[in-house]
Amino acid sequence: MFWLILGIVILIAGIAFGLACFGEESKGAGTTCIIGGIVLSILFVCLSCVTSVPTGNTGIVTTFGRVENYVLDAGLSMKAPCSIRTVPLAL
């Protein structure tokens, strides 16, 4: 969730800074800031889709507090960016 929020903040900041730079002498600075904000926000959203389950644990997947019918094995796994939380359970 942290990476998702950080990506949205950087996207908004990049667009705002890029729009502020369009009127100045440095041509292309505004476009660069907007593209940079978009690229960084996509990167942070992708990072928020990855979760890690420690070795020797099983990840219990919950969606908005409701336990799902599947678990995650140890290691890196993909998940939805904001709705799923993984709780490690030692076996």
pLDDT value at residue 78: 83
The stretch 18-44 carries a mean pLDDT of 71
Q: Are 9 and 44 in contact (CB under 8 A)?
A: no
Predicted pLDDT of residue 6? 75
pLDDT score, position 3: 67
What pLDDT score does 63 carry?
Answer: 78
Which pLDDT does position 44 carry in this prediction? 77
Chain mean pLDDT for the chain = 75
- What is the pLDDT confidence band of residue 57, given thresholds at 50, 70 and 90? confident
Strands in 9-54 per DSSP E: 50-53
Q: Are 36 and 5 in contact (CB under 8 A)?
A: no
